[in-house]
Amino acid sequence: MKNAPLAIIILLLTGLPAWAQTSETIRVKSGERLAVGDKYLFPQFAVGTVQYRDGRTVSAQLNFNLLLREMQFLNPPRLDTLALAREYTIKQILINDAKFVHDQKAGFMKILGDYGGVRLAVTQSLQVGNVDKEAGYGQSSGVSSIKSVNNLPSDNGSITRLSMKGDVMYSRRESYFLLDENSLTYPANKKSVQKLFARHKSEIGDYIKDNSVQFGNAADLKRLLEFCQGLN
């Protein structure tokens, strides 16, 4: 996407499934750069372990790029930032106390818990949500309390200066998934939960209704899965 028009970049980075949750909005202003703390999942690169399906294990300085949705590492000796390749060969990645697995469609997912063989996972990303047109006196319209930042990171990690006037809005988003014992991935919704705990569809349906479960809320999902695990 080198020097790609902003409109194309927005089309590529937007579009979320219905079970996603927006957790933070960032306003990108002219003359500023996206902070590392906003671009990456962790505040800094940390020593992590990549475990491959063939049994190999590799340690590296790792971090997850939310904007590009890539697991990246620092390549010595110059400490260039590179992305892990051939993700389909990776069994899991451990960074600090976090565990990640890779799905061909959903990408890298952070495991939040295991409930009797059904795992809860979340994908996290930073997406371009909107362009706020410039108002009078060089000021952009919109809510002033939204966090501000400007310049659009490209897919090679460099910074592309925006040529259009106005602020760009980023949204930090989370989408939740369920993984079965064979690591098959399902969207976190009522249908998937009842399928994975098929012997207790009725009880699960009642619990979801009685507790007004929000499938975009991690705490609600954890309580639901704890309930389901207790039924077995």
Using one digit for the tens of pLDDT, what is the confidence trace for 157-212? 444 444 445 677 788 899 999 999 999 999 999 999 999 999 999 999 999 999 99
Give the pLDDT of residue 4: 41
Q: What is the mean pLDDT of residues 74-91?
A: 93
Q: Are residues 101 and 204 located together in one domain of the fold?
A: no
Q: Are residues 111 and 159 located together in one domain of the fold?
A: yes
- Record the tokens describing residue 227, joined without a space: 């309930």
Query: How many CA atoms within 13 Å lie on the side-chain side of 52?
Result: 11
Q: Are residues 226 and 141 located together in one domain of the fold?
A: no
Q: Are residues 130 and 181 located together in one domain of the fold?
A: yes
| Residue 228: domain span | 189-232
Contact 133, 184 (CB under 8 A): no
Q: Does the bond joining 77 to the residue before it have cis omega, within 30 degrees of 0?
A: yes
Residue 1 lies in a domain: no
Distance set, CA 1 to CA 7, 12, 159, 189, 191 (Å) = 12, 10, 12, 34, 37
Give the pLDDT of residue 26: 80
pTM: 0.76
Contact 67, 107 (CB under 8 A): no
Identify which has the larger pLDDT, 215 or 24.
215
